[in-house]
């Protein structure tokens, strides 16, 4: 028996916690016996059913949209072809999900709210061959435990309908009801008995966006099912059932979810390999976003967030997007259910593949092939943004007298006109002369010539001008094209360079006089260590003392290049690269650096022949629609849009 102060009690308590005392120990505090060991070691108890369900609800029911996801998935598992979702106060006050599925009979309704009661699986083997959304039997009891819940249903082929009610997972009641075939689940006062959960919800607008996203995401994967979403009495969206599950039938729902811009700049993907099939849409490289939030993946109709799938998609866009930019995509992957484990995450949002490498490779190959087939297409977004930036402005009223056209041709007015043109010539003479002289061609002859030359034969049209020494303006039969000459030529050089390296035939051009480049000793060592690798890239260097190198040859494809600056940029790339990484593994980064040095710069004047040569190369070079940083190399303005700007349409 021990007597002491409170500090002694805390000391004894820590001893008991660490397991040094195995028998009952009583400590007297203020002459009152206190059973210390029994205080520390709580008894193991079986939790009440409603409390266990509330704990499970913490994993399954994160927010109102989580409830809708589970209920809509149950409706789809029941074979529903019409699903209506209604919410009040973004779902916290009320959620109603109604379907026309096969329904639930009277004797089965009470089982629907029992934990681990399900019609989806029966044996262990079924866990590895799941074809339904739900299978754990946790969703309905979890939702019922944190709400006032009712489920009304009429089973297929039966005359009677029944409703089963509960409050907080207790006080169950089964009653007759009036209901058509199918099921209606009514969730009222979500989290009423766990108010702390309400504090973790976001603003009303954010939560409603989650609700909208869940419904549309499930609607995308089920085009032959009609959906309706009502919020506080107002219809938010309605999708009619499509006749098929083709890519074309997905477009209306896709436009509602991803936006019209995505649909206008999306490429269809459709490949069936037998054991695996992929279909959906991916964005053009020039239509990219700053996060991965616009990437939606489905496995056997189930929305998932998987790093392997997102990694495969990212790899397909390798060397097409700048660092920090991401493609948008909606991809549906069908595969043997036994090849994927969906029993990984409580909300079934993550999966595990039996052969992840095969899945990665097929997605990467399928998407890349689609991109290659549209490698010269460019996003419409820059063109539309350019049009929006044009504004119709009213010219200010001149303070000078209005010109009198009635006397046009007399000596006085001719003098005014001559003076005006003289001023114009003065301005013109101040600008640098272009590198070629265009012969004077009568207007009629010019129109005929360009029509024959460009409109019918060349998608990129014929060059008609160069603006600011930087942009090529070309004309097609029904549009005007503006090309960023540096960005476009950089991509052309990059693709040629890549082809030469992959073929092992990079031509070098020897310098008349070696270029001596002074560097830090560590940088010299880094370059010389990779001397043979650099030679394969067409760059011949050798050491010239401890703090300098000699450049003897550069890639012929780059033409006249600043060898010193090229080496300095290569050194910078090497600093950012892991020592064990080969140049071949960082091929795109090094090629991008070299291509930048070999491309036409801004403010360099080009002849019409040079401009047309660039246009022709763009038509035949893969990925010419975007530069090495993922930006568009050209924009196209349709004649109709230009006419609209001037009020002609």
Closest CA to 120 of 133, 108, 107: 133
Section 479-494 average pLDDT = 90
Give residue limits of the domains in the chain. Answer: 2-40, 61-236, 268-374, 382-387+433-649
CA distance linking residue 448 with residue 451, whole number of Å:
5
The confidence score (pLDDT) of residue 432 equals 41
The confidence score (pLDDT) of residue 452 equals 47
For 370-406, what is each residue's pLDDT tens digit? 998 887 776 666 556 555 655 444 444 444 444 443 4
The confidence score (pLDDT) of residue 175 equals 94
Is 400 exposed, middle or buried (CB count within 10 Å of its CB: 0-12, 13-18, 19+)?
exposed
Q: Which sign does the torsion angle of CA 589, 594, 597, 600 carry?
A: negative
Section 479-497 average pLDDT = 90
Domain 61-236 shares a fold with domain 268-374: no
Asked if residue 233 lies in contact with residue 258, where contact means CB atoms within 8 angstroms, the answer is no
Q: Which of these ranges, 184-193, 369-378, 392-401, 595-604, has the smallest mean pLDDT?
A: 392-401
Alpha-carbon separation of residue 457 from 441, 461, 484 (angstroms): 22, 8, 22
Q: What confidence category does residue 18 fall into, taking pLDDT thresholds of 50, 70 and 90?
A: very low
CA distance linking residue 182 with residue 442, whole number of Å:
76
Is 144 exposed, middle or buried (CB count within 10 Å of its CB: 0-12, 13-18, 19+)?
buried
Instruction: Name the average pLDDT for the chain.
Output: 79
- 264-271 long-range contacts, Cβ below 8 Å, gap at least 24? 264/380, 264/381, 265/379, 265/380, 265/381, 266/328, 267/370, 267/371, 267/373, 267/374, 267/377, 268/370, 269/331, 269/366, 269/367, 269/370, 271/362, 271/366, 271/369
Asked if residue 339 lies in contact with residue 353, where contact means CB atoms within 8 angstroms, the answer is yes
**Residue bearing tokens 């401009």:** 611
CATH topology of domain 61-236: Heat Shock Protein 90 (3.30.565)
Determine which helix (DSSP H) or strand (DSSP E) holds 443, and give its type and residue range: helix 443-450
Q: Look at the pTM and tell me if it is higher than 0.85.
A: no
Q: What confidence category does residue 647 fall into, taking pLDDT thresholds of 50, 70 and 90?
A: confident
Q: What is the DSSP string of 320-362?
A: TS-TT-EE-EEEEEEE-GGGEE-TTSTTS---EETTHHHHHHH
CA distance linking residue 254 with residue 272, whole number of Å:
21
pLDDT for 320 beyond 50: yes
Asked if residue 143 lies in contact with residue 134, where contact means CB atoms within 8 angstroms, the answer is no
CA distance linking residue 437 with residue 469, whole number of Å:
15
Alpha-carbon separation of residue 500 from 493, 507, 538, 592 (angstroms): 11, 8, 10, 14
The CATH number of the domain covering residues in 268-374: 3.30.230.10
The confidence score (pLDDT) of residue 53 equals 55
Section 335-341 average pLDDT = 87
Section 444-473 average pLDDT = 71
pLDDT for 584 beyond 70: no
The confidence score (pLDDT) of residue 409 equals 42
Q: What confidence category does residue 642 fall into, taking pLDDT thresholds of 50, 70 and 90?
A: confident
For 218-250, what is each residue's pLDDT tens digit? 999 999 999 999 999 999 999 999 988 888 888
DSSP 3-state of 90: helix
For 113-153, what is each residue's pLDDT tens digit? 887 656 554 555 545 555 556 545 578 888 998 999 999 99
Superfamily of domain 382-387+433-649: MutL, C-terminal domain, regulatory subdomain (3.30.1370.100)
The confidence score (pLDDT) of residue 30 equals 53
């Amino acid at each position: 028996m021990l007597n002491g102060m409170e500090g002694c009690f805390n000391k004894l308590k820590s001893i008991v916690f660490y397991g040094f005392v195995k028998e009952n120990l009583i400590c007297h505090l203020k002459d009152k016996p206190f059973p210390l060991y029994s205080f520390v070691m709580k008894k193991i108890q079986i939790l009440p059913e409603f409390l266990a369900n509330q704990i499970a609800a913490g994993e399954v029911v994160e927010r109102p949209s989580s409830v809708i996801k589970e209920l809509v998935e149950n409706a789809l598992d029941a074979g529903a072809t019409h699903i209506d979702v209604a919410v009040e106060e973004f779902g916290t006050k009320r959620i109603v999900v109604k379907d026309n599925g096969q329904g639930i009979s009277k004797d089965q309704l009470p089982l629907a709210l029992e934990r681990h009661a399900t019609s989806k699986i029966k044996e262990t083997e079924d866990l590895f061959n799941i074809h339904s959304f739900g299978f754990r039997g946790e969703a309905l009891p979890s939702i019922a435990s944190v709400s006032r819940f009712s489920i009304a249903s009429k089973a297929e082929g039966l005359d009677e309908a029944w409703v089963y009610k509960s409050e907080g997972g207790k006080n169950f009641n089964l009653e007759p009801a009036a209901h058509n075939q199918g099921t209606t689940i009514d969730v009222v006062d979500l989290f009423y008995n766990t108010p702390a959960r309400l504090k973790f919800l976001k603003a009303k607008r954010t939560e409603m966006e989650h609700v909208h996203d869940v419904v549309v995401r499930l609607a995308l994967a089920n085009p032959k099912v009609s959906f309706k979403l009502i919020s506080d009495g107002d219809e938010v969206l309605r999708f009619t059932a499509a006749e098929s599950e083709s890519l074309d039938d997905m477009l209306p729902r896709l436009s509602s979810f991803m936006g019209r811009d995505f649909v206008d700049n999306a490429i269809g993907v459709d490949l069936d390999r037998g054991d695996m099939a992929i279909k959906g849409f991916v964005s053009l490289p020039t239509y990219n976003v700053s996060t991965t939030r616009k990437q939606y993946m489905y496995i056997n109709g189930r929305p998932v967030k998987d790093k392997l799938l997102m990694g495969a998609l990212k790899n397909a866009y390798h060397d097409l997007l700048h660092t920090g930019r991401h493609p948008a995509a909606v991809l549906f992957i069908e595969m043997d259910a036994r090849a994927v484990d969906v029993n990984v995450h409580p909300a079934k949002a993550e999966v595990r593949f039996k052969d992840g490498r095969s899945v990665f490779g097929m997605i990467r190959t399928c998407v890349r092939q689609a991109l290659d087939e549209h490698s010269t297409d460019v996003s419409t977004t820059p063109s539309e943004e350019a049009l929006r930036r044009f504004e119709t402005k009213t010219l200010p009223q001149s303070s000078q007298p209005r010109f009198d056209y009635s006397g046009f041709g007399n000596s006085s007015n001719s003098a005014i006109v001559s003076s005006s043109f003289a001023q114009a010539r003065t301005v013109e003479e101040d600008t640098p002369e272009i590198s070629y002289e265009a012969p004077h061609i009568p207007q009629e002859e010019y129109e005929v010539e360009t029509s024959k030359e460009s409109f019918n034969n060349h998608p990129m049209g014929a060059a008609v001008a160069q603006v600011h020494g930087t942009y090529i303006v070309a004309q097609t039969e029904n549009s005007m094209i503006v090309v960023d000459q540096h960005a476009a030529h950089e991509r052309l050089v990059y693709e040629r360079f890549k082809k030469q390296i992959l073929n092992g035939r990079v031509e070098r051009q020897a310098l008349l006089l070696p270029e001596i480049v002074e560097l830090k000793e560590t940088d010299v060592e880094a370059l010389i260590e990779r001397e043979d690798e650099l030679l394969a890239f067409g760059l011949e260097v050798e050491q010239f003392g401890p703090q300098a190198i000699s450049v003897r040859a550069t890639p012929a494809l780059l033409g006249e290049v600043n060898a010193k600056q090229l080496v300095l940029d290569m050194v910078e790339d090497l600093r950012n690269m892991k020592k064990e990484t080969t140049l071949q593994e960082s091929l795109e980064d090094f090629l991008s650096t070299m291509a930048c040095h070999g491309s036409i710069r801004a403010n360099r004047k080009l002849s019409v022949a040079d401009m047309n040569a660039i246009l022709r190369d763009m038509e035949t070079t893969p990925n010419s629609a975007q530069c090495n940083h993922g930006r568009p190399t050209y924009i196209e303005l349709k004649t109709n849009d230009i006419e609209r700007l001037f009020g002609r349409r």
